A and B are shown apart, each in its own frame.
Chain A
Amino acid sequence: GAGVSQSPRYKVAKRGQDVALRCDPISGHVSLFWYQQALGQGPEFLTYFQNEAQLDKSGLPSDRFFAERPEGSVSTLKIQRTQQEDSAVYLCASSHQQGRITEAFFGQGTRLTVV
């Protein structure tokens, strides 16, 4: 497809379980962002990649969160030992720009529910 694809769309995890969320950005897009969006809130920045380099991970809420983009294309956000407060929609966005980002393209998100 032509857009940003995220999988799975929905994930229910038991507390303590590890989860992996996948993002397929638009082909050729250099920049990739992960955001966490709680219900009724705006997207909170988690981490940013430029190609395979993770340039900013200041938004990751704890060391249970880990993101990678080993070949500069597909990215995975992994959450270890999930907690209830991790329940949110996780959004991935990509941009062909690597300097000033003038437009980001978003996937539909993965809704994570930790029970």
Chain B
Amino acid sequence: SQQGEEDPQALSIQEGENATMNCSYKTSINNLQWYRQNSGRGLVHLILIRSNEREKHSGRLRVTLDTSKKSSSLLITASRAADTASYFCATDRRFDQTGANNLFFGTGTRLTVIP
């Protein structure tokens, strides 16, 4: 089963507005990542936040992490039509025998930015 869940499942906004997506997860993590997926394409890494960080910025992206609530949010400011895509959070989970990690994805938020 998937590790995380995003909400809302779908979000539709006007160009120029801000978009906020939330992610909740179940187990302890080392880091949390956000990925973007355009329709019919693979996923592209956007940003990573470590478990000891609370907030991180990258361009128009702002990510927060609350490990006590096992939740994260992705804020896209001044949205553009080109931001239309699905956004997924991904958390790692330690594979105890070797120390390697797997990546587990949430259910995704479908963002539509209307020009």
Contact = CB atoms under 8 A, between A and B. Distances in A.
A20 B95 CA distance: 27
Contacts of A65: none
A42 B95 contact: no
B106 A42 contact: yes
Interface in B99-115: 99-108, 110
**Would you call the interface of chain B mostly helix, strand, loop, or mixed?**
strand
A21 interface: no
Interface residues of B, number: 31
- Counting chain A residues whose Cβ lies within 8 A of the other chain, the interface size class is 20 to 34
A100 B30 contact: yes
B62 to A, nearest CB: 19
B42 interface: yes
Contacts of A102: 31, 33, 48
Interface string A45-61: 10010100001100000
Interface of B: 2, 4, 6, 30-31, 33, 35, 40-45, 48, 88, 90, 92, 95, 97-108, 110
